[in-house]
Structure 1
């Protein structure tokens, strides 16, 4: 039994009849009926603008397509189809050279209207607009880049950075420029390790003083400046920068694509792959899809249409069984130990929980503890601190407030370390030497007090100090007041 009814069979109607599932066609064109039947498509010669022809249809279509090339006929047929099949999804082609009145009339009755003028505009904008210009410029820079190209993710890369480096490497190699995906630091988070191991991703882990003599060109993904969140010399000449984080200083490179209006850098790289007509390997598609999901918190944070479109494209190529394994790796014993210490050492003030778990072996445990503690009653913000190899690492999470955690951590810790992130998920690194003297009798106590006091003071909690501007513009009212409003205690 057909699921789609095609009324009128011009160029668009024919494609929709032949492609993508069972259909029945009603058209007055005898030659078209014969051709369709020869191709195995059910077809009837009749006038689709005749109410009796529609009444004779002996099945309930899930979709009705109005597909002739005549705008006037499509208007008439669409109206009849809506009356005859009120529960079907009605797709109407506006026809060749439709007027605004034609499109408006169709929009009044159809669920979806395809306007060829809009398709032409989209086609031209892809090639002559901003998107097309970016593609041409990137291809030109890659063709002229001195090989090999080093594609650097930020330090301790997350899935978005890893996938973006993989994607730019594939794009570069398509332009006949050999490339290597590189990073400094460690891949600590258990999901990140699962991503690399299960997909067998090749990454060049750099250590010590960065020797770049083997590379002819440098690219940065998911961050935008050398020496900031990577261990490259600050004066490194950069050829390509692709990032979705808003820059805090001018960015210099031969090609720069900074778009903070998307949820992930992987979204931008997916767009490049699509526009270049490059099909991602299953491994790359899986990594990019995971990168978008993680950076948008499973499509719930700072997500836009472009992120959904990228994901829809990647799903067709991704290994979903492997993705499920990446998203649900095993939890090690240390993570449970760190979570227990975090709970025992917690300090909660006005909905903000801070905790210092002392020495750690795996930074990933801090992030998982910050996530878990956010589920505690009356807690809207968490900051979990731990030390490893002479550095204090911080992981923070927030929910249900106007607080911008990335800005908060930068305000609190940038002068003594480095910090950054998103509005509801951020991190920081602070050298212990910036906090305590070598002969400090109780270094852990000093570290905890110094960092938690800085954080609370930045937010204006437990102190007379005015809060820093780390809330969305025109919305800051003081976190304590925000919490009172949230809980209704101020009424």
Structure 2
């Protein structure tokens, strides 16, 4: 990537300031950029700060009249009067100069409590390379030959929906038209309430002409044609996801961070660092996406999830969020839950239940969540079938068992499976299982097949993956 380094001295002209603002997303601090690249290359978690390697010159700079009056100071990233600081990685990520209304309230601005130099700040918690991500994302989107199509995974959950709308908002903020879309259906009553009450505009992949778009982005999943309705092998320009890596990911810009509890957390970070203030609907959707994927900050949660939630909260429509979180429960959900309880197969601290034919696959996830409330249960797996496919959802709490790896080991060879350590899902074609004898029940045949593989893998649990990297990721199953 090209690097633009600007040195304009201590008394820049108005034209110089305007020129810097016009390319703010491409101006970087060369020291910070090189340190980040070296850190990534050698695998160090952190480098000694510049202040540890050089004498403290704060007193000297404070005594200098140039350092206090300069609107742009190449030597002083701490200057609160500087609209653009060439040495400040925070300012280079903003779409606007740091004296704009958007950027002065964003985390990490020079005069905010979240300054990059303050202990415990959001910037200090960000992983290596985080300062380079927003400019690279902007360059990738601006380089497209036409509108951007933002694709969520099939049957999207709140995190996928909010992330798709959020990335489209980022593209539109820099002048690139974007359309968020999804495949399958939005079945869960809370998800439907979220889309309807917040008036979120999303299209379905069916009927979309891909030739009309200059680029494709994937959110909350990472491979075209795997758990989405795109043709397999479709070229992808942007990937933003938080699910654990399992295989290669192709894209011009790839940001996959398994440590984050939700993709919405990553989208919020981009909004903040680029100085884009979300409207109430988007902020509410992103916060809800984070809360759902982290189960109200009790599952797979990280510090950035809390930081993103704190940043979004002032913009959230609380009354609408309350209505989204309290929708009516469908009869199908109650039926599936009742069947799961009635047909439960408990072995130690694990319960599995085949609920037979279903009409709403999302009811499986809700049942798996509720079965975790049973006394002495740490792992749940609820599965059923519809439209020729067996669907399953697994949950875990208070155990070292990785249910994502467990389902992969048990069912990936027969279909597709994966997810996180505490939440995972599977899809297996019924295939020849549908050809049951007259004296057999399809429910019993499915239960024998799935439960047999599940408990066999449970008897010798697979080892969780280690050394994950953004360049390797498998399909996710976010239910």
Q: TM-score, normalised by structure 1?
A: 0.68
Deviation at 1:197, TM superposition (A): 1.2
Partner of 2:364: 366
SS of the residue corresponding to residue 132 of structure 1 reads coil
Check whether the contact 1:419–1:429 (CA below 8 A) recurs between aligned residues: yes
SS of the residue corresponding to residue 275 of structure 2 reads coil
Partner of 2:93: none
Partner of 1:305: 303
Q: 1:271-420 residue pairs with structure 2 within 5 A?
A: 271-420=269-418
Distance 1:315 1:373 in 2: 31
Structure 2 unaligned blocks of 5 or more: 1-57, 61-77, 81-112, 467-479
Distance 2:289 2:367 in 1: 21
Partner of 2:473: none
Check if 1:469 corresponds to 2:467.
Answer: no
Partner of 1:138: 137
Distance 2:337 2:116 in 1: 58
Deviation at 1:119, TM superposition (A): 5.2
Check whether the contact 2:359–2:386 (CA below 8 A) recurs between aligned residues: yes
Structure 1 unaligned blocks of 5 or more: 1-68, 72-93, 97-113, 461-466, 474-491
Change (3 A) 1:124 1:153: closer
Distance 2:362 2:122 in 1: 45
SS of the residue corresponding to residue 312 of structure 1 reads helix
SS of the residue corresponding to residue 394 of structure 1 reads strand
Distance 1:377 1:235 in 2: 45
SS of the residue corresponding to residue 334 of structure 2 reads helix
Change (3 A) 1:456 1:118: same
Deviation at 1:446, TM superposition (A): 1.0
Deviation at 1:162, TM superposition (A): 0.7
> For this pair of structures, how many residues does the alignment match?
358
Runs of 4+ in 1 over 6 A off after TM superposition: 114-117, 120-127
Deviation at 1:299, TM superposition (A): 1.0
Q: Which has the larger radius of gyration?
A: 1
Deviation at 1:404, TM superposition (A): 0.8
Check whether the contact 2:364–2:382 (CA below 8 A) recurs between aligned residues: yes
Check whether the contact 1:147–1:179 (CA below 8 A) recurs between aligned residues: no
Check whether the contact 1:152–1:165 (CA below 8 A) recurs between aligned residues: yes
Change (3 A) 1:123 1:347: closer
Deviations 1:375-410 (A, max 9, x none): 112222111111111111111111121111111111
Distance 1:115 1:279 in 2: 17
Deviation at 1:132, TM superposition (A): 2.7
Deviation at 1:231, TM superposition (A): 2.5
Check whether the contact 2:152–2:220 (CA below 8 A) recurs between aligned residues: yes
Equivalent residue for 2:253, pick from 248, 252, 255 = 255
Distance 1:95 1:142 in 2: 31
Check if 1:452 corresponds to 2:451.
Answer: yes
Change (3 A) 1:341 1:122: closer
Distance 2:180 2:241 in 1: 15
Q: Which structure is richer in relative contact order (CA contacts within 8 A, separation 6 or more)?
A: 2
Partner of 2:244: 246
Check if 1:226 corresponds to 2:228.
Answer: no
Check whether the contact 2:402–2:420 (CA below 8 A) recurs between aligned residues: yes
SS of the residue corresponding to residue 186 of structure 1 reads coil
Check whether the contact 1:292–1:311 (CA below 8 A) recurs between aligned residues: yes
Change (3 A) 1:126 1:334: closer
Distance 2:417 2:435 in 1: 22
Partner of 1:154: 153
Q: TM-score, normalised by structure 2?
A: 0.69
SS of the residue corresponding to residue 168 of structure 1 reads helix
Report the RMSD for the aligned CA atoms in angstroms. Answer: 3.0
Partner of 2:235: 237
If each structure's strand is expressed as a fraction of its own residues, which one has the higher value? 1
Check whether the contact 1:125–1:132 (CA below 8 A) recurs between aligned residues: no
Deviation at 1:253, TM superposition (A): 0.7
Deviation at 1:439, TM superposition (A): 5.7
Distance 1:115 1:372 in 2: 38
Partner of 1:176: 175
Partner of 1:58: none
Change (3 A) 1:444 1:320: same
SS of the residue corresponding to residue 145 of structure 1 reads coil
Deviation at 1:237, TM superposition (A): 0.7
Distance 1:291 1:117 in 2: 27
Check whether the contact 1:419–1:427 (CA below 8 A) recurs between aligned residues: yes
